[in-house]
Every structure is written in C-alpha cells, then in structure tokens.
Amino acid sequence: MTRRAARLAERVALVTGGGQGIGRGIALALAEDGAAVAVTGRREGPLKEVADEIAQRGGRALALVGDVGVREDVERVVAQAADWIGRLDVLVNNAQSSVQRPLEETSDEDVAMAYLTGPLAAFHGMQAALPHLKVRGGSIVNLGSSAALLGREGFASYAMAKEAIRGLSRVAAKEWGRYGIRVNVVCPAAVSPAAEVYLAANPEYHAELVRDIPLGRLGDAEHDIGRAVAALVSDDLAYLTGATLMLEGGRTLLG
C-alpha cells in the first residue's frame, strides 16, 4: 500500500451531493487515499456510478439516496453510513441548491431553499454525525464559496447561505475541538456539470472568470479540490481547525 493510499485507511467518510461535480471529485480522492466512502444525493443513478467507479479503482463505496433538505433523510443517511462498517470519521457537507437572481428580484422562497439545502443541511448532518465522530475524533469539511466572499452579483441567496455555513463551522470548531473533532471550510472553484452549463451559456463571464484567476484555469474537481480535502481530513493537517481554505486558484486575491 502506498503512503497516499494508507493515509485514510480504516476511515469512513460520508460525502453529501456525492453523485456529480465537486462532490464526486471529493469522494474519488478520499477513496484513493484509502477511505471507505458513502455518497449521498437525491438520484440513485449518479450515486451508483460513483460507487462503481470507486470499486473499479479498488476502493469501498456505498450509495445512499437521500435529500439533504429533509432532516429525517439526513439523519437516516448518517446512521446508515456509520452502521456500514461500524464507524464514521469524516463528514463532507457539499450539497447545495440555489437560484441565481439579482438581489432586488430574490424572493423569500429563494433564500429558504438555499438555507434549507445549505447551512441547515450541514447543521443537521453535523448534529447527526456528532455521536459517531466523538468516539475517536474526526473531521468535518463544509463547503463555502468565494462568490460569497467577493459579493458576486446575482448570488444573494447563495452568498447568504454560504456565509452562514462559515459561521456555523467556526462555532463548531470551538465547541467540538474538545472531542478531537476538526471543522474546516473549503471554498472551491472547479468545473462541475452545473458549472459547465452555466459557463457555456455565459461565455463572456467564463472568459472573465479565467482572467481573474492568477493560475489561469478553473480547478479539477478530483485532483485540485478532492485531493486537498483528503489532505485536510488526514493526520497531515491534524492541527488545523476553524479555517477557511481557498481552493480557487488565487481568485480572491483580486477581489
């Protein structure tokens, strides 16, 4: 077993929104580092595809259908992930739904959806995972966004939700450090199916976005984002908690 494959050996991780995009990339990278990975989302097909891909690479994976916007689903999925092998060490709250509109057109319903599937989903997942993570200590990674930090136009409800996630994460890092639980935030910029559709429909923004990234490209979901998350939850970064890791090629330097 290589050093990288051994880094997360014997650990079990749960990734929400793990059927595509950044969630898929994170799940694949965690498995490459030796973790057994449960992926959850609303559609069974994509989840099974990711689980099969992990298995084909020699890893262990479990597909769990659930809606992060429903607390009962979140609690069930966390319990199933923990019961699968008998432990839970890592929770990655990646799933998020939102609608992009100008602030003046943003509705209460837009905000409610962003909060339900973002900070509330993370809150529910973290509470459900706490009894399992307290056994040996563990790591929680919540996804934020540079769009919130930069105040990107048209992303009011999304920015509100993502900054709420960062506040929640900082409180958890302080309260749960005593249990050996680390809580950090990752703000990624990577190509996903949803991003590809949006960028294809907005080529001028795509070109502007790349110009604003000092490294000159959008990240790869597995190799740029997933591998960083795998390092973050490993013992290599065991002294880091309450932090926000900007994985966006330096874009916020220009904000």
Sequence-ordered list of residues with C-beta below 8 angstroms from that of 13, at least 6 positions apart, any chain:
27, 30, 35, 36, 37, 38, 88, 89, 90, 91, 92, 233
Instruction: Note whether 64 and 80 are within 8 A (CB).
Output: yes
Q: How far apart, in whole angstroms, are the C-alpha atoms of residue 31 and residue 28?
A: 5
pTM above 0.75, yes or no: yes
- Quick check: is 198 catalytic? no
**Secondary structure percentages of the chain, helix, strand, coil, to 5:** 55, 15, 30
Where in the chain are the domains?
Answer: 3-254
**Chain-centroid distance, C-alpha 153:** 23
Predicted local distance difference test score (pLDDT) of residue 139: 98
Predicted local distance difference test score (pLDDT) of residue 131: 98
What tens-digit pLDDT sequence spans the chain (255 residues)?
555 668 999 999 999 999 999 999 999 999 999 999 999 999 999 999 999 999 999 999 999 999 999 999 999 999 999 999 999 999 999 999 999 999 999 999 999 999 999 999 999 999 999 999 999 999 999 999 998 988 989 999 999 999 999 999 999 999 999 999 999 999 999 987 777 888 889 899 888 888 889 999 899 999 999 999 999 999 999 999 999 999 999 988 754
The sign of the dihedral angle between the CA atoms of 200, 230, 128, 75 is: positive
Largest separation between any pair of C-alpha atoms in the chain: 55
Predicted local distance difference test score (pLDDT) of residue 194: 73
Predicted local distance difference test score (pLDDT) of residue 235: 97
**Catalytic entry in 115, 158, 179, 205:** 158
Structural fold of domain 3-254: Rossmann fold (3.40.50)
Q: Give φ, ψ of 139 to 5 degrees.
A: -140, 140
